[in-house]
Structure 1
């Protein structure tokens, strides 16, 4: 039997990961580097799978400053609290895998704006928010946001290279304060996504152990296409998928 039916996805991608594709920004920043907006995530590990072109990802962490080269087939990932900046070296294209599916879109991303901006939630929100759409106004706002994030980032990087981790730690603390009110909502997204996926696997293992594979009767296959192409993300032009428990389109709040 051949079926052309396309089941409507009801389950997240494997492991409840988020998925998007990025073409790194070509805009040149104040330090002459072309690329995206430096930022960190509070509870999500992020991975870059390079599908074309060349570039780098610059990171700040307790390990210090690193400049990790990226080329076709490269894989790089960074844990919560790591400041990262995607650098364009020539047609850099990346598939992004994000832990905890849609948490970054729900606010788990804080830009490295200067301290005076981070200290004022309203000012931070105004600087981080980008208008909806893919037009010239949205592009201009995304570029201003990138430039402000680079301004704060360069200060953090200079201090860390000089052996002073204080500004970097202060930025992490400021980021945690900014997102604190969102944690209860994040917990619900985690329960419905990553936790539910892990618990589903546990139930399947229990069923197999008891000799009852009845859950296999629900087997099916899914397919999807990007729901939006060329959006202005944190690091570049972004193709995204609107799937259950997966990376949804940014809702144009100050989340990136």
Structure 2
């Protein structure tokens, strides 16, 4: 067994994972979801997998590894393990400069050139949606646009590999501090305060929740399991977790679901320099399919 115990860790007396065990787990995670875990991520992986050890009642990484790599574990544990190791950082109105460009440039161009939103609903994909802040932000922005443009219609498809964050996203319940970036006018219109004054929470209004369809999706799946195309893809702060060959392969698959002259929004910390892609930059971190 490669996930052997080598020394005692400080976390409630639980053992640490060995170097060979880390390599085996990191290779499995890379093969499952494309996330590269370099050696300096060992402590992070230990901390997150320890939650699974406690939940299942295993005392060592050796025991947990035996289970994960068994036929039963491969069938029943992989989704839960991926839920723990994936990073889910997001906020409402994150990278706010994207939204004025979307409203002032992208939507008018798509309406003018393709009758998108008028002849048929605009189709937008929030890829790597985490707990839902991004797709609900987009739903607010597009709903406000629809209030000003008669007959404008849209749908939002939101995906993540983690079933845990998708459950939270579907509920649409957030702490008050999480919704601080939402402008006051939009808070009053799209957020419902809890009836329990002890709960400092709000919930997205049903009409807005109904605009977003959530689904689990693994970026390592060959065609994402999708047949439809999209007018806009938000894939922000997602590819930073992959190595460059995986980034290029992933973005080429995105482009297969993005018709000519449609748009993809990336994170400001992400660069496509050196990647061979059918995309041209039209604004910082915003690209158009060519």
TM-score category, normalised to shorter length: under 0.3
TM-score of the two chains, using structure 1 as the length reference: 0.23
* Greater RCO structure (CA 8 Å; 6+ sep): 1
More helix by share: 2
Structure (1 or 2) with the larger CA radius of gyration:
2
